[in-house]
A and B are shown apart, each in its own frame.
Chain A
Amino acid sequence: MTALVIAEHDNKTLNDATAKTVTAAALVSSPVHILVAGQDCAAVADAAAKIAGVEKVLLADDALYARMLAENMETLILGHADTYDAILAPATTTGKNYLPRVAAKLDVPQISEIIAVVSPDTFERPIYAGNAIETVQAPPGKKIITVRTTAFKAAATGGNARVEMISTATDPGLSRFVDENLSKSERPDLTSAKIVISGGRGLGSAENFKLLDQIADRLGAAVGASRAAVDAGYLPNDFQVGQTGKAVAPDLYLAIGISGAIQHLAGMKDSRVIAAINKDSEAPIFQIADYGLVADLFQAIPELNDEIAKRGIGQKA
């Protein structure tokens, strides 16, 4: 039978969380179809059609889906659910919002944030802030799954799927989009960046967070934060890395002035290399850091910036 992947996008560009979800989906069921729901989003559907291994792209283009509101997505997906034996979405705030509604209406338990497909009905997922990995077997029938995209490689491009316009569902009239306040950044996306530099409460202020900017710019890195830094208003909520924020797994994670609480580690301990700068030699972050520097960050950061500049690091990219 067939798997359906719900695309993540902003009506203009396809988020690479989609291609990663396709990789997971193909292990559950194939062929794979993609549903693109949005408004004036034909370009997104065309991009989805180029993902290798995708047989068909369903395009629902309507004002109803401009913001992918959960209630509207529910009725749209339910209208097509019969055809599929697996429905997958990336475990983004969008996917987490609508997919449980679909699962509930289909009377199917959802398997959240899988990190591995053991077999088409058996999955691995982190629980207890990543302190345990559960292997769980879904019951027979439809599989409803969200995917932690940092755990899967993006499916290659080179596909040539057909795009089929589908009719839209009726407006459930339960919710209405009011407005959006999005963080603007020239930097790479936190969840797909190769290098992430995160700051914690140790940075002390929003102003001081700017100390990280120069290094981040040189390295082409994304900036992240601990919950304490976000709660203190140093950075907006979407910078939070952790159990209840974003999961990241870059080649390099640089933790600065972060103690290393389990809730923070849950979101970054799958990074390839972890480096930490903290003035407290007992900080738990050092137990998982490949390289730890015990230092005052207000000294170490400018030094690090100079050292990187001196060696011409980052300019070769």
Chain B
Amino acid sequence: MKVLVPVKRVIDYNVKVRVKADQSGVDLANLKMSMNPFDEIAVEAAVKMKESGKATEVVIVSVGPAQALDTIRTALAMGGDRGILVKVEGPVEPLAVAKLLKAICDEEKPGLVLTGKQAIDSDANQTGQMLAALLGWGQGTFAHSLELSDGTIKVAREIDGGLQTVSLKLPAVVTTDLRLNQPRYASLPNIMKAKKKPVAEKSPGDLGVDVTPRCKVLKVAEPAKRAGGVKVKTVAELVDKLVEAGVVT
């Protein structure tokens, strides 16, 4: 079974972004970029399937600028077999990403697509679900653990009330949550090897998808600032303050 893993190049999760003074967006210039953390978890899950003989090939796909190639290389260093870069400058909405991935799935015919549950930049949490719908496949979102057997996959999902397990007919789309695994660090030899793994480049035109954004971002603003900073010396003083604020009675 072939497993397809879409990975997004995003701002590193340790970096705090700043809004541009003209409110046209956030300033990403010279900031550290990394693979979306949920996608690292997806790559790890796919590579584990290959190591245990359940997957035959792990194909990494990224939609983004030329630098997204670095993100693909990182995934290849973790154990992916080959990459596909769909080169697009500028923002691509989840629906457009889903359409591009659908076109790639039509060609590649994977048995499973593993995406992250959410990109930590746009916080959309849509792409995997949209892809599943466009393909007419089942989905297991927010995966906590997986159990692959012949023709089906059981997914324990992290839901608001706890865990829910569903069984999906393959092919299917699974989106990863934090507890699914602990992604590995790529070793230096594997980073070197990854440089030689094949990466194909495509354009949205090749895939017949119009990626022009449909929504208009009118403004990107700083969130309301909290004053904060008052220190209390004792527990009793803390309780005084909470009573004064009227939040405990």
Check A263 against B13 for contact (C-beta < 8 Å): yes
B contact residues around A300 at 8 Å (CB): 235
Segment with Cβ contacts to B, from A46-54, A205-213, A243-251: A243-251
Contact B221 A316 (CB under 8 A): no
**Within 8 Å of chain B (Cβ to Cβ): is A187?**
no
* A63 interface residue (CB < 8 Å to B): no
Instruction: Given the known inter-chain contacts A101-B129, A104-B95, please indicate yes or no for A286 contacting B158, CB distance below 8 A.
Output: no
Partner of A238, one of B126, B162, B242: B162
For the complex, give the distance between the alpha carbons of A292 and B221 in Å: 28
CB of B173 to closest CB in A, whole Å? 10
Q: A238-B162, A269-B226 are in contact. Are A71 and B139 (CB under 8 A)?
A: yes
Query: A252 within 8 Å of B by Cβ?
Result: yes
- B22, CB-defined interface residue at 8 Å: no
- A175 close to B169 (CB less than 8 A): yes
Whether B188 sits at the interface, judged by CB under 8 Å, is no
Residues of A within 8 A of B125 (CB): 96, 100, 112-113
Q: How many residues of A contact B (CB 8 A)?
A: 97
Across the interface, do B219 and A134 meet the contact criterion of CB distance under 8 Å? yes
In the bound complex, how far is the Cα of B234 from the Cα of A104, in angstroms?
54
Question: Does B19 have its Cβ within 8 Å of any Cβ on chain A?
Answer: yes
Chain B residue nearest to A138 in the complex (CB): B215
- State the interface size on chain B (CB cutoff 8 A): 83
Q: Is there a chain B Cβ closer than 8 Å to A294's Cβ?
A: yes
Q: Give the complex CA separation of A291 and B247 in angstroms.
A: 12
Contact A132 B223 (CB under 8 A): yes
Q: For the complex, give the distance between the alpha carbons of A196 and B17 in Å.
A: 28
Answer whether residue B134 sits at the interface, using C-beta atoms and an 8 A cutoff: yes
Stretch with Cβ within 8 A of A (4 or more), from B79-87, B103-111, B114-122:
B114-122
Closest chain B residue to A179 by CB distance? B165
Within 8 A of A (CB), among B221-249: 221-223, 226-236, 238-239, 241-243, 245, 247-249
For B249, give its contact among A92, A99, A173, A313 (CB under 8 Å). A313
| Residues of chain A lying within 8 A (CB to CB) of residue B245 | 252, 273, 290
Contact call B163/A237, Cβ cutoff below 8 A: yes
- Contact indicator per residue, chain A 284-296, by CB within 8 Å of chain B (1) or not (0): 0011111111110
Given A131-B223, A132-B19, also A313-B214 (CB < 8 A): no
Contact with B along A162-195 (1 / 0, CB 8 A): 0000000000111111111111000000010001
- A303, B236: Cα distance in complex, Å: 8
Q: Is B220 an interface residue (CB 8 A)?
A: yes
A238 and B178 CA atoms in complex are apart in Å by: 12
CA distance A96 to B160 in the complex (A): 11
CB proximity of A131 to chain B, nearest CB, Å: 5
B226 / chain A contacts, CB cutoff of 8 Å: 269, 274, 288, 290
Interchain CB contact under 8 A, B223 and A130: yes
Residues on B lying within 8 angstroms of A by beta carbon are 11, 13, 16-17, 19, 26, 38, 93-95, 98, 117-118, 120-127, 129-134, 136-142, 144, 154, 157-169, 172, 177-179, 214-223, 226-236, 238-239, 241-243, 245, 247-249
5 contacts between A and B (CB under 8 A): A97-B141, A132-B220, A273-B245, A307-B236, A307-B239
